Structure 1
Amino acid sequence: MSNSQPQPSSVPILKRTLVFGFLYAAAIAVIGGGVAWLSVGAIGALSVVIGAVMAAVFLGITALSILIAIKYDIVAFFAIVLGAWLLKFVVFLILAVALRDQPWINTTSLFLALIAGVIGSLVVDVVVVMKTRMPYISDPNG
């Protein structure tokens, strides 16, 4: 007999979201980086890769914060998720200001990669949730 509690039904969904989100960000880096290389040059490709990495990190922070917070009571859950959201917001602002005027960044390529990453992560979330079988009632003791 095991003392561990059963995992909430949302854990596999979040893990699948992480995997597909990271794969999507890698696709943005490769495909978008190639397109940017051809149209803008190496600076554009580097900017797309940076944008894809930023999108992947922000996606990861959200999903990981929920995976961590799900083990705690509702107040701690919301505190952890809100704290992660605020962390993402602050890190995004710092990176936006720091990268804005860098000569080795093409801001258009970076912006387009970030937008593609955000929209893609939302699509990944929707598709993963729609294709997952999950009970209509909440988890016991949850």
Structure 2
Amino acid sequence: MSASPVSSNPILRVTLLAGGAVGLIVIVLATLIGWWAAGGEGAASGAIGAAVGMIFPALTAVSILVANRWFGSPAYLQIFFGVVLGGWLLKFVLVIVAFLVLAQVEWLVDIVFYVSLVVAAVASLVVDLVVMSRMRLPGVSDIALPGE
């Protein structure tokens, strides 16, 4: 396997893998605690809240990885910012739609959903922080010197 042309790609991949592992743990815990607090409806509310809280932050890393596929292209910066900005706008619209739809669900236990959503979002941020603090990324990267 060859090295990634963009030095941030390995960090983003580790973030997605670690975030997925932590996300599964948070979903299982939110489901169990939701079951304990409010039965089956609480379990479903906890699982949905935790899933929403883990999926939406991961979409930013995915959009950056997708945009980095055009590294080296003359229009790389335009493509990169278009893909990332488009991903953010799509995520923004999806969050609003998801919350509007979930607000209409009668069986959703609001407090279980909210707490699991916040815990999952904070867990995602902690994973990002830990991965970024432990990964090594040079201060100057992704350049080619004359004569190389």
TM-score normalised by L of structure 2:
0.86
Q: What secondary structure, in the 3-state scheme, does the structure 2 residue paired with 1:133 have?
A: coil
Q: Give the gaps of 5 or more residues in structure 1.
A: none
Q: Contact between 1:18 and 1:59, CA under 8 Å: does it hold in 2?
A: no
User: Which portions of structure 1, spanning 4 or more consecutive aligned residues, are displaced by more than 2 angstroms?
Assistant: 4-7
Offset of residue 106 of structure 1:
0.9
Offset of residue 18 of structure 1:
0.4
Q: Give the gaps of 5 or more residues in structure 2.
A: 71-75
CA gap 1:135/1:108 in 2 versus in 1, 3 angstroms: same
2:29 is aligned with what amino acid? Answer: I
Offset of residue 6 of structure 1:
4.3
Root-mean-square deviation (CA), in Å? 1.6
CA gap 1:134/1:101 in 2 versus in 1, 3 angstroms: same
TM-score normalised by L of structure 1:
0.89
For residues 96-132 of structure 1, give each alpha carbon's deviation from its aligned partner in whole angstroms, at most 9, with x where no partner exists. 0111131221111111111112111111111101000
Q: Contact between 1:44 and 1:106, CA under 8 Å: does it hold in 2?
A: yes
Q: From the CA coordinates, give the structure whose radius of gyration is larger.
A: 2
Question: How far apart in 1 are the matches of 2:4 and 2:104?
Answer: 50
Percentage of matched positions with identical amino acids: 36
Q: Contact between 1:28 and 1:48, CA under 8 Å: does it hold in 2?
A: no
Match of 2:137 in 1: 134
Instruction: Name which of structure 1's ranges 5-14 and 43-52 shifts more when overlaid on structure 2.
Output: 5-14
How many residue pairs match? The answer is 138
Match of 1:112 in 2: 115
Question: How far apart in 2 are the matches of 1:5 and 1:36?
Answer: 43
Offset of residue 5 of structure 1:
7.9
Q: What secondary structure, in the 3-state scheme, does the structure 2 residue paired with 1:70 have?
A: helix
The residue correspondences of 1:1-142 to structure 2 (distance < 5 A) are 6-72=4-70, 73-140=76-143
